[in-house]
Structures are given as structure tokens and as C-alpha cells.
Amino acid sequence: MREWWRDAVIYQIYPRSYQDSTGDGIGDLNGITQRLPYVASLGVDCIWLSPIFTSPQADMGYDVSDYKDIDPIFGTLDDFDRMLAKAHDLGLKVITDQVLSHTSDKHPWFVESRQDRTNPKADWYVWADPKPDGSPPTNWHSHFGGPAWEFDAVRGQYYLHNFLSQQPDLNFHNPDVVDAILDTAAFWLDRGLDGFRLDTVNYYFQDKHLRSNPAAKSGPQVMATDLYGMQDNIYNKNQPENLAFLEQLRALCDRYNDIMMVGEVGDMGQRSIDLMASYTKGSSRLHMAYSFAMLGPDFSPKHFRGCIEGFQKGAPDGQPEWSFSNHDVPRHVTRWAEHAVSEDAMARLACAMLMSFEGTIGIYQGEELGQTETVMEYHELTDLQAIRFWPGVKGRDGCRTPMVWEHDADNAGFTSGTPWLPIKAPQAAHAVSHEEARNDSILHFYRETITFRKSHPCMTRGKTAWIDLPDPIRAFTRSVDDQHLTCVFNLSKDKTTLAQQGDASLTGPHQATLAAGTLDLPGNGFAFLDHSAPITLKG
């Protein structure tokens, strides 16, 4: 029997920005429950909830202080159970964001660990002595600026934090830590959860000998404010011990029915594709993985083909998840604006292309509305990374602003209070109420395209064969048995014409015309060609 996640479309919900049910300006679990019929109407299979666990919220829940409870700003365990039951009634699976590589510095484990060097949890975090000159043990950088080490005056040692100093890294070399983490996972599986999205899945282990990283071979990355990219990060993540832990976590999940784990590979370029392949290879590791490979500015045919082809070659039996947007990067309609005829044209092209990829698909809330990045002012920021490096770094608040439901309602229907992030006119213009009222809206297009993906065997089970065409065209054929679907995308603003030979017909959603062997694609146009025998396309 084919697993449910193989062909799934996963819808990411950022809980504090989805729907507020209490008027405090922050979205919550009861608000999500209220909106689940809308989510189900999209035709998606599963929702991924960003962190909802008890947290001081220094990094919006990615600093967990209790893995087995719900943060009060989101509700209670009973609220979670009701939300889960409602989702299941609507045919939706639910997975949660599990932040396992680090905790909050307010977690009882860390509070005990920092007391001295001999307590029962003294070795539960990555502690190290200063160098003789008092400097940090290694040259590793934090993603949020400065060294990845924070000196603690109580222990007289440094502790590792790959992110904020309030997010100390757990020591997975300690088997007691592994056992404790597995116990927290079992808690949620026993509650009926359908799986996990594993945050920073390649950060669990660091080099046991704490060796410093060499300089990046290709030189500094574009965003010079993030010194992390100036190193070849080979010792602070991506360690081989990760695989053994993933196998333990998979063994736990396999004791339950229909559980899925998807891991976020926090890396860029070919290394991220290689890690995706390694982490999903066989049947004893992750069910699937996704990376930031398609979450950057690159919008070239070569890039998209390289990501998919690289994964296929590296893990022919593995499963990828492909996404264009999430809570950590600018929304793709804005990110790829220089290639767009219009915002709507880019939203349609991106949707059609994403839904055609072989693997599991992830979409981020608001993406189905053609939502754009919110332009933030300094006084509106909550993201500590942006506050520290402004204006060199705009931060992540721009993609995290609240969901817009009713265009004419206060705060677009998100809250009766003051929203935690502003809802501005360009975003309110994409409200669900407007999108529902227009037959040609992006929302209806997403529903149509998701339905098409699910109904066509080539889209769900077809293998991919690439077609060599000149830029800016990206084309491939997906085939199963004697059915073939050729997918063609124009990644530029200029119209283009292709010669087509063979018996084929346009099917599904498209922005193209096919007549007398000529396929005309407007700027940002796309086409799905149905055929039972091979066809050819020439530029």
C-alpha cells in the first residue's frame, strides 16, 4: 500500500499568525481549529504547525522550555486534542515542528546543567573550556551573529548555540539526551500526532573534538552580515552520527501507524541536496527531507533541474519535499519579482511548477492567495536577527505577518485586538474574501492545480525525464505505464514559441496555446501536454 505522504501536499501554518480567537493579537490553536474547513477546502493532505510548545518566545517558539506542553499563548493540551480531532475528521493529517537540536536556556535541563560541572545533567549540553587566552573553544559562528559560544560565569565555561544565545545546543553524544528526546517524541505520537517536521535536522551532532572550521572555499557569501557563510561548516553540523540518531527516531515512529518524518536540512547548494539524499536513503532514516535549495533567489531552469536531478541521482529510493516559501525566507512572489510579468503571473507559474515536481509538496500559509512580502519598518520588528543587523538584514517578520481573511474587517479578520505584527494594505488586498469572490483568483487556481495534481496518475506516480531546451524554458515529462504528461514552463517575462511534434493536447490549468504543432507561451506561461506516445519539443 502506497504511504499517504508520498503524493501529499503539506500546508504550513504559522500558529501565531493564522487566527486569533481570544483578542490578544496572537493566533492560537482554537483559531486554527476554526479555520480547518478552509484548509481542507484547498485539497491539501496535511498541516504542519510551526512550534506550539512552551517557550519564552525569544525565537518565536524555536526555543522550547517544555517539550510536553502547549505554550499558554496558543492554548492548552485539551485545545490541541480538539484541533487534532477536528483535523482528522476533515481528512487532514497533522505534524508539528520538533526543535530537537537545542532548547531554551529556561528549560529545566539547562537550568540544572549550568549549575556546576558535576550535576546529573552537567553533560546534557555542549560545554567547553575557554582557550588559554579566554577566547571561545572554536571559531564557529552563530546564525544570528557573533560567535556560536556564550561564556557562562557560573560554570566558567562556554556553551554552544548555533542560533540565539538563549538557545543552547543539546549534547547528542550523551545517550541520556537521546533517550530523553525520544521520550518527548513518543509523548506526541501517543497523543495521535501523525508525524514530525524536524527543525535543523543536520545540527544534532557537532564534531566531538571541537575542531575549528576552515574558510569557505568559494569566499564570503553575499550577505556579509551573516559571518556563518564565510566558513566551510564541516565540524559544527552534518556529522555522520546524525544518521544513527535518525535511525533510532525512525524505529520509534515505525512502532506506530502511518507516521511520517520530514527533516529540514539547514544548508545551501549541492551539499543540501546530498544531505537530503543521504538522510532519506533506504527505509531506516527520514521518510523525506527538504532543504533551502529552492528557497533562495535563484530562478533559473538550470537551478530547478539541478536540485531535482541531484536528489534523484543521490537517492533513487529517497523522497524529497519541495517548497518555494516558508516562515524563514521572503515570500517567493516578491523574491522572484524581477522575473515576473506581474505578481499574479508569478503566483500561477510558481504554483503550476511546484505542483508538477516529483515528490511531496509543501506550501506556506498565504501562498495560496498570492501573498507578498510585507515591507517592515524598524519599530515594527520582532525578529531579533533583524533588530540586531538592521538595515543590512530585513529579517523574517515580513513573511510572518498575519493571515488575511476578510478584506473589510478590522485587521482583515485575523484578530479583534492589536495584531502582533502589522497587517498592511498590500497584504490585506489578498484577503480570502476577495479571492473567494473571483473565479479567476489565485486561490481558485491553487485549488484547481492541486486537484489536477491529485487526479492525474503522471503527477502522483510518474517518473521524471528531462527535456533539453534553451533558457528560459524548463520542461520535463512525467510518465507512468503508457501515460505521459509533458510539463513546460517559461521562466521569463518574454513570450516564447516552441515547435511540437507528435499527438498531444493541452490539459489541466495552463497559460499557453497549442495549434498546428506550435506551442505559444506568454511571459510566465506554462502548459501541461497529455500524450500516449512520445512527443518532441524544439526551441
Q: CA 382, 384, 390, 396 torsion: positive or negative?
A: negative
Under a CB-based contact definition with an 8 Å cutoff, are residues 404 and 335 in contact?
no
SS (H, E, C) 341-353: CCHHHHHHHHHHH
- Cβ contacts of 2 within 8 Å, gap of 6 or more: none
C-alpha cell at 36: 480547518
Q: What angle do CA 55, 267, 487 make, to 5 degrees?
A: 110
Residue appearing with cell numbers 542560533: 163
Within a 10 A sphere around the Cβ of 215, how many other Cβ atoms? 11
Within a 10 A sphere around the Cβ of 278, how many other Cβ atoms? 22
End-to-end CA distance of the chain: 41
Domains in the chain, start-ordered, CATH in brackets? 4-101+174-204+239-453 (3.20.20.80), 462-538 (2.60.40.1180)
Catalytic residue chosen out of the listed positions 20, 63, 105, 264: 264
Q: In what side-by-side order are the strands of the sheet with 518-521?
A: 513-515, 518-521, 496-501, 536-538
Distance CA 242, CA 223 (A): 28
Within a 10 A sphere around the Cβ of 71, how many other Cβ atoms? 23
Q: Using CB atoms within 10 Å of the CB of residue 535, give its burial: 0 to 12 exposed, 13 to 18 middle, 19+ buried.
A: middle
Under a CB-based contact definition with an 8 Å cutoff, are residues 155 and 127 in contact?
yes
Within a 10 A sphere around the Cβ of 455, how many other Cβ atoms? 10
Question: What type of residue is 268?
Answer: M
Q: What is the pTM of this model?
A: 0.96
C-alpha neighbours within 13 Å on the C-beta side of residue 187: 15
Task: Clarify whether 377 is annotated catalytic.
Answer: no
Task: Clarify whether 264 is annotated catalytic.
Answer: yes
Catalytic residue chosen out of the listed positions 63, 71, 169, 199: 199
C-alpha cell at 35: 479555520
Under a CB-based contact definition with an 8 Å cutoff, are residues 460 and 487 in contact?
no
pLDDT tens for the 539 residues of the chain, in order: 789 999 999 999 999 999 999 999 999 999 999 999 999 999 999 999 999 999 999 999 999 999 999 999 999 999 999 999 999 999 999 999 999 999 999 999 999 999 999 999 999 999 999 999 999 999 999 998 889 999 999 999 999 999 999 999 999 999 999 999 999 999 999 999 999 999 999 999 999 999 999 998 865 554 445 688 889 999 999 999 999 999 999 999 999 999 999 999 988 777 888 898 899 998 999 999 988 889 999 999 999 999 999 888 888 888 999 999 999 999 999 999 999 999 999 999 999 999 999 999 999 999 999 999 999 999 999 998 899 889 888 999 999 999 999 999 999 999 999 999 999 999 999 999 999 999 999 999 999 999 999 999 999 999 999 999 999 999 999 999 999 999 999 999 999 999 999 999 999 999 999 999 999 999 999 999 999 999 999 98
Q: In what side-by-side order are the strands of the sheet with 505-506?
A: 463-467, 473-480, 483-490, 526-531, 505-506
Under a CB-based contact definition with an 8 Å cutoff, are residues 262 and 195 in contact?
yes
Question: What does DSSP assign to residue 511?
Answer: B
Distance CA 441, CA 9 (A): 20
Distance CA 73, CA 416 (A): 16
